[in-house]
Amino acid sequence: MVYLILAAFIFGLDLFLKNRIEARQDDAFPVRLDNGISLEKHHNRGFLLNKLEDKPELVKKISVLTLIPLFLWFLWLFVKKAGSLGKIGASFLLGGAASNLYDRLFRGYVVDYIRLPIKKIRHIIFNIADFFLFLGAALSAVYGLFSK
């Protein structure tokens, strides 16, 4: 139950932040923080780097078809009585994917709002869900490497 709450918390946190960003006027951006991170409002109608932005219905279908097996895997980890690392990774993935899917289905785009001051990825704008997706994928990969 804790892991489902964790996924729901990630979903809720990201949705809250996206709603706050959406409520602000476009001329309020960018907001530069002292650590070099900037907050911006970006509407991503595709996948990472706007891939397939010209095919929004396909993006929605792929997103739904990706979330279904992810949710089934999440449930399977509990039936299997998997270790915490796998369950945390799956929770991160589920929460992040669900938040971005919600945006795609109900807004028609994903709200991205964080630009990092790292030269190689400075051109990409992220959201909290994206960070949890990356971290969840990494934890799940480690779990997969070391579980039997």
Q: Is 14 a catalytic residue?
A: no
Q: Is 112 a catalytic residue?
A: yes
Check if the beta carbon of residue 41 is closer than 8 Å to that of residue 113. Answer: yes
9, amino acid identity: F
The β-bridge partners of 42 are 112
Annotated catalytic residue within 26, 54, 103, 130: 130
Residue 35 in tokens: 């650590």
Sign of CA dihedral 42, 44, 48, 49: negative
Return d(Cα 16, Cα 70) in angstroms, integer: 23
Which residues are known catalytic residues? 112, 130
